[in-house]
Amino acid sequence: MMLKMLTIIAAFAIFATACGGSDGGTTTEESPDTTEEAMEDTDADPEPEESSDTTEPESDAIVTEAEDDSDLEVVVGGVARIGLEAEVDGLNPTGSALSAPGMYMASQVFDNLVRADTNNQPVPFLAESFTPNDDFTSWEMKLREGITFHDGTPLNSEAIRANFEVVIADPLVGLAVAPFFPPVDEGALEIVDDLTVRYNLVDSNANFPTSFYGQLGMVASPTWLAAAAEDPTLNQAPVGTGPFVFESRSEDSVTRFVRNDNWWNGSANLDAIEFVPVTDPDVRSNLLLEGELNMLQTTNAASIEILAEDESIQNILDDTGEESFAMLNTSQPPFDDIRARQALTWATPRDNYNTLIGLGIQRPADQMFTPDSPYYNPDVVQEADDPDRAVEMAAEYCGAVPDSCTDGKINMELQWSGPSVVQTRIAELLDEGWSVAFNVEFQEVPQDQHIQETAFGLYNAVTWRQFGAINPGDDWVWLLCRTAGGISLNWPQVCDEERDELLLAAQATTDEAERAAIFQELVAKINQDYTYVFFFHTLWDIALAQSVKGVCNDVAPDGTTVLKCNTNGRTWMAGAFLSE
């Protein structure tokens, strides 16, 4: 049945890995970090042979980085134009639905408290250090001295408290934060001194600093936050501490940032960067090939195939972040009944999807981990391509719940983000399989609305992209009972106390072998809930013209090389330059 539209005034933010998008049949997030965080990630040269086999290949992850250009002479100046897969509702990390495009833009203006190194371990960035108590229920964070925001406001403990209190009090964004802390008036965050705060947690979290990899770790000027609270239009004009400063924004057109000559961690090379949302991946690729763009982000397999074969383009590829899947809402008919979820799973034409949409480039996924991950469970296999079984189960369901069926088939709606020719093609392909047991109605909406309606449970099934957290324990925000409800980050609205125990145990331990065993058990439970129908491991491509250099030369203040330069579809532009 067609779901009624809800007018949503507030924006919804995604802190972890990625979720959502218009390429390749998924909708963004982030990944909490989120891929999707971070977000989320991809790019390089080799292409797997095209195949319709849906078993997990045993090859290494599809990860390639750009050539080492750290020895090239840096050119200062120039403007880089970057094509995004979608527009976002704002650029306020405390209240906007950033998703993959938003994370890409925000990462240039806001520095994170913590970044990840090449081994996915936390490296203090705006922060100088993190110190836990004995049971990891309390963490002291010390900030670096002498850092100011673009508007001159100092980065200090009061700034951290202002950001934290805005986030945790927000009726939507707070859903990703409040469940993990006691109430603010009961000491969720304490100021120790001018540069030190203490975070007090509800649960033991031995990996707490990784929660700042993504949107939650971006720190905004408290002066700007106060002004934006009075004038919401300022959410489009972000103020952080990062290498670029906001200059102008025309939604659905161009967002422009200029170099911050007073950046505390050095100086960016480019005069400016301009982000251009282009929702159709074919158009986006053509603009890059024609020289109208210098860079782009995409998960569209056809685009990746074309760009990887063109010698004028560099491709930074990665599929170890988020996954692409269909996601089902268990809070209302028909998918509140596991029989309907099973029927849809078995009716899914996964072989055709991965052949026609993945083009043999995207690795088929059975779970949220790639085979090269220590958390991968080889015994978990994604069911699909069994129409006879689907018809049989649909008949059983319709016999028990006739009001949710018409002519012996289950009624449902599929929602996706657009406008996008590819997404429409995906919907039609899925319907070809599902129609043996389902009457499917279509709904295409803009990406930000798509995320909002999913959070409010206003969907039956959606195409989605998620589970891209650098530390997979941070994906608990999508899975715990405490994050399900009327407005939910636990999108399918599943509450499983045994699953919660696994997630809490994974975050409480520093033993990697124990964590691996926990996550392997977790993905087995997720598989048996029939709430996700995994398609493939999302292959992100950050494609660049040959003139773009230095995108992989990002370092932390102590000189540590930070995470691969494609993280769930975004990169950091501080070291980038345009060669002559």
d(C-alpha 499, C-alpha 501), whole Å: 5
Phi and psi at residue 504, in whole multiples of 5°? -65, -40
Phi and psi at residue 76, in whole multiples of 5°? -95, 130
Q: In CATH, what number does 114-224 get? A: 3.90.76.10
pLDDT at 63 (0 to 100): 60
C-alpha distance from residue 524 to each of 351, 381, 389, 456, 518 (Å): 22, 9, 21, 27, 10
Indicate whether 370 pLDDT > 60. yes
Are the CB atoms for 452 and 97 separated by under 8 Å? yes
**What single DSSP character describes residue 535?**
E
Instruction: Say which range, 115-119, 170-174, 532-536, has the weakest mean pLDDT.
Output: 170-174
pLDDT > 70: what percent of the chain? 88
Pick the CATH number of 323-537 from 3.10.105.10, 3.20.20.140, 2.30.30.20, 3.40.720.10: 3.10.105.10
Strand positions, DSSP E, 23-136 = 79-84, 114-116, 122-124, 127-132
The mean pLDDT of 14-19, rounded to a whole number, is: 36
C-alpha distance from residue 452 to each of 36, 90, 461 (Å): 17, 13, 14
Instruction: Say which range, 169-178, 370-379, 405-414, 513-522, has the weakest mean pLDDT.
Output: 169-178
CATH superfamily of 79-110+240-320+542-578: Periplasmic binding protein-like II (3.40.190.10)
Condensed to tens digits (0 to 9), the pLDDT of residues 459-515 reads: 999 999 899 888 999 999 999 999 998 889 999 999 999 999 999 999 999 999 999
- Strands 272-277 and 313-318, by their bridges, are unpaired
**What ranges do the domains of the chain cover?**
79-110+240-320+542-578, 114-224, 323-537
The average confidence (pLDDT) of the chain is 88
Condensed to tens digits (0 to 9), the pLDDT of residues 282-328 reads: 999 999 999 999 999 999 999 999 999 999 999 999 998 899 999 99
